[in-house]
Amino acid sequence: MAISTSPLRRQGRAFTAIRVALMVLLAIFFLFPIEYMVVSSLKPDDQLLSDTSSLRAFLPIGDISIANYLGVFERVPAIRFLLNSLFVTGSVVILGLMVNSMAAFAIARMRWRGQGLVLTLIVATLIVPFETIAVPLLLLVSKLPWLGIENGELLLQSGWLNSFQVQIIPFIANAFSIFLFVQFFKSLPKEIDEAAKVDGAGAFQIYRRVVMPLSGPVVATVAILTFLPIWNAYLWPLMVTQSEDVRPVMVGVQYFFQLNPAWGEVMAYLTLITLPVLALFLALQRSFIESIAASGVKG
Amino acid sequence: MALGKQLADPAALARLGTDALPSAGSPPGRNRTYSDGRLGWFMAGPAAALLVGFIILPATLAFVLAFTNQRLISPNPTEFVGIANFSRLLTVKILTLEPLADPVTGEVVYPEIRDLTRDPASEYYQLQELATFGIGDTKIVLLAGDSVFIRSLVNTLVFTLVIVPVQSLFGLLLALMINRRIRGVNLFRTAYFVPVVVSMVVVSILWKFLYAPDGIINDLIGTVTFGLVQPRDWLGDPTTALPAVMLMSMWQAVGFHMVIWLSGLQTIPTQLYEAASIDGAGRWDQFRNVTWPGLRNTSVFILITITIAAFGLFTQIDVMTAGGPLDATTTVIYQAVVRGFRQQDIAYGSAISVVFFVMVLAVSLLQRYLTREAA
């Protein structure tokens, strides 16, 4: 007896078809602005505006060129901004991984006097959103001293405004990163330390030679969760970087946008700073999505 | 939306506090922990010092500066001004005006509000007009110490009240839709998640282009409705500017919450669904009795993170509307930046930051209360 066309089965198939259609429509909703951005970056402005009335708007046809990209480089030091962001983000990620994993090791696998106090401090910082401290922090960093080199001489400078360190140092320590490391370190079996201890290794050697090499997954998670907000940072660099020498991409693109360039050039700039991150995301998709999930699971 | 802020989960910190310390009862010696005070401080010290210097200290400073007249650069010494900043921020008064007949023409006129707000003897001295409406002949005027700030508070709350339910529900629907073992479903997950990795600055500029009067959204609407709906300036019109920002913000962030819902869904054991379907439960019954109770903690976490992120609305506003038109999109943090940074009034900006902190704290306490009840 053939059962493949039972009413229930047919209903289920119709249901699946509707679901898939809906999923496709939603995918279009989430992707069309980005596709439109990339396509528009290749077109001159008069064509951009005439194309909006038809599907041509979403196709790379007509007068296609990279003229808009060249226009961007003529107006602003776009590469400089990109390099600034790379330097700032890279520094925060690397220093953050070191500082936060060390603190987490001391909390998860050591016992020492003052540990409770440090733990309370770390926990307390979790409830302070950055927006609360941005304005007083601006005053604070405007008064901090720094040892700088000018004309080959070591000089004591005052004020961190318009510098790289003002974008890096306040963001190295992060309570949430410490928390993720603590969780991971506690899940590692104690036996791995014992063997090292027998070999005469101290706590720091165990951290550096035994625990950290095993921590690949949590290092990836913390790196991604640090990278995204620093690369995308806007509020803080807007307040502390007036000079082009240290300006990061997101403030740079807003600055460019305010010069009122052609839309095609704006789209070229947006594409330029978005595609590298998108490529990175697509390459490391699994880690990206798992990192985000890791931030919410432990409910 | 800054990810870092969304990740500040007070429920998780409560757990960090309880299980991170080595248990007191464990016997010394055979244990994995090391008792070395100096090494402990050496390893945790850098993080602790940085957190104190760049979070605890400025947070404390916010509370101190809010009671002064500190400016970023000023020739005058800083003075303590008590609660002056807060009373200016939060004062709202209602003024009722009865109509008067003009003695010359007999026309109905109202007393000038200016006369009251410019009179040092009046209780309405230096207040600004916030809104005016009439009941019958009586005119009711709302006056505020800082009418723009009250507008920003209202806008922020409206934004939050809309975004929180809509975005969390939308995220849940997306998660339910792709929580299947169908081939290719991960492709859709990726597609929905893509806007999350695009910076909010980029998204804001891009959507300003989409929303333009001669932009693609107006053209799409025109095509779909055969020209019935006229193009409009979405961001330039006070009635549509904030909703336009809401739609865009949701488009950018909902993938983030979809992933968190999804990880919540995947913690629900499949046996529960099997048991439910053996008992004859339909799709809706399964959702109501298995899925939803299993998502309780996830939903509290999501509601709280969206709320706190919505309170902090800033980037979209700064890039797209600069608070306008007519203050229709100004927000609390936007005002903190305008006053504290652009006008260099550190004290007033700090006072706004403190108001913001109290809002966030209230929500965090609510979360603790909700999750404690579940435990």
Which residues of chain B lie closer than 8 angstroms to A299, CB-CB? 11, 264, 296-298, 300-301, 371
Residues 33-52, chain A, touching B (beta carbon < 8 A): 33-34, 36-37, 40, 49, 52
Is B58 in Cβ contact with A136 (below 8 Å)?
A: yes
Assess whether B308 and B207 both reside in one domain: yes
Degrees, nearest 5: CA angle B156-B160-A277: 95
For the entire predicted model, the pTM comes to 0.85
Q: Dihedrals φ, ψ of B132, to 5°?
A: -135, 135
Assess whether B111 and B224 both reside in one domain: no
Per-residue pLDDT of chain A (299 residues; tens, 9 = 90+): 444 455 656 667 787 888 889 999 999 999 999 999 999 999 888 888 777 777 777 877 777 888 889 988 888 888 899 999 999 999 999 999 999 999 999 998 888 888 889 998 998 898 888 988 998 999 899 888 887 777 777 777 778 888 888 999 999 999 999 999 998 998 888 887 777 777 777 888 888 888 899 888 899 989 988 998 999 999 999 999 988 889 999 999 988 988 888 889 999 999 999 998 899 888 888 888 888 777 764 43
Which residues of chain A lie closer than 8 angstroms to B61, CB-CB? 133, 136-137, 139-140
Asked if the structure places residue B158 within a domain, the reply is yes
Assess whether B204 and B245 both reside in one domain: yes
How close A141 gets to chain B, by Cα (Å)?
9
| Tens digit of each residue's pLDDT (9 = 90 or more) over B233-291 | 999 999 999 999 999 999 999 999 999 999 888 888 888 888 888 888 888 888 888 88
Residues 225-244, chain A, touching B (beta carbon < 8 A): 225, 228-229, 231-235, 238-239
Residue A142 near residue A160 (C-beta atoms within 8 A): yes
Asked if the structure places residue B25 within a domain, the reply is no
Domain coordinates in residue numbering, chain A: 9-68, 81-259
Edge-first strand order for the sheet with B138-144 is B92-97, B138-144, B128-135
Asked if the structure places residue B51 within a domain, the reply is no
* A81-259 CATH, one of 3.30.70.60, 3.40.50.620, 3.30.930.10, 1.10.3720.10: 1.10.3720.10
- CA dist B110 and B118 (Å) reads 16
Q: What is the mean pLDDT of chain B?
A: 83
Residue among B188, B313, B209 at smallest CA distance from A24: B188
Question: 10 Å Cβ neighbour count for A108?
Answer: 23
- CA dist A176 and B305 (Å) reads 14
From B198, which residue of chain A is nearest by alpha-carbon distance? A274
The pLDDT score that the predictor gives to residue B8 is 42
Assess whether B214 and B128 both reside in one domain: no
From B358, which residue of chain A is nearest by alpha-carbon distance? A132
Three-class SS of residue B91? coil
Is B51 in Cβ contact with A125 (below 8 Å)?
A: yes
From B48, which residue of chain A is nearest by alpha-carbon distance? A118
Which residues of chain B lie closer than 8 angstroms to A134, CB-CB? 336-337, 340-341, 353
- CA dist A113 and A251 (Å) reads 44
Is A254 in Cβ contact with B319 (below 8 Å)?
A: yes
Which residues of chain B lie closer than 8 angstroms to A159, CB-CB? none
Assess whether B203 and B242 both reside in one domain: yes
Assess whether B153 and B137 both reside in one domain: no
| Tens digit of each residue's pLDDT (9 = 90 or more) over B163-178 | 999 999 999 999 998 8
Is B312 in Cβ contact with A119 (below 8 Å)?
A: no
Is A139 in Cβ contact with B346 (below 8 Å)?
A: yes
Q: Which residue has the higher pLDDT, B231 or B357?
A: B357
Is A179 in Cβ contact with B202 (below 8 Å)?
A: no
Assess whether B232 and B110 both reside in one domain: no
The pLDDT score that the predictor gives to residue B30 is 41
Q: Which residue has the higher pLDDT, B96 or A105?
A: A105
Asked if the structure places residue B323 within a domain, the reply is yes
How many domains in chain B? 2
Asked if the structure places residue B48 within a domain, the reply is no
Assess whether B193 and B116 both reside in one domain: no
| Tens digit of each residue's pLDDT (9 = 90 or more) over B116-150 | 777 777 777 777 887 888 777 788 888 888 889 99
The pLDDT score that the predictor gives to residue B4 is 38
- CA dist B88 and B84 (Å) reads 6
What is the residue range of B106's domain?
A: 92-144
Residues 142-181, chain A, touching B (beta carbon < 8 A): 142, 169-176, 178-179
Size of interface A-B (CB pairs under 8 A): 358
Q: Which residues neighbour B236 within 8 Å (Cβ) at sequence distance 6 or greater? A: B213, B325
Is A53 in Cβ contact with B219 (below 8 Å)?
A: yes
Assess whether B136 and B197 both reside in one domain: no
Is A53 in Cβ contact with B199 (below 8 Å)?
A: no
- CA dist A56 and A5 (Å) reads 42
Domain boundary residue among B144, B172, B205?
B144
Assess whether B106 and B246 both reside in one domain: no
Assess whether B155 and B292 both reside in one domain: yes
Domain boundary residue among B144, B171, B186?
B144
Asked if the structure places residue B277 within a domain, the reply is yes
Domain boundary residue among B118, B144, B170?
B144
B324: domain CATH number is: 1.10.3720.10
Residue among A197, A147, A129, A156 at smallest CA distance from B10: A129
- Quickly tell me which residue has 């003229």 as its tokens: A67
Q: Which residue among B52, B333, B364 places its CB closest to the CB of A121? A: B52
- CA dist B279 and B260 (Å) reads 29
Assess whether B240 and B346 both reside in one domain: yes
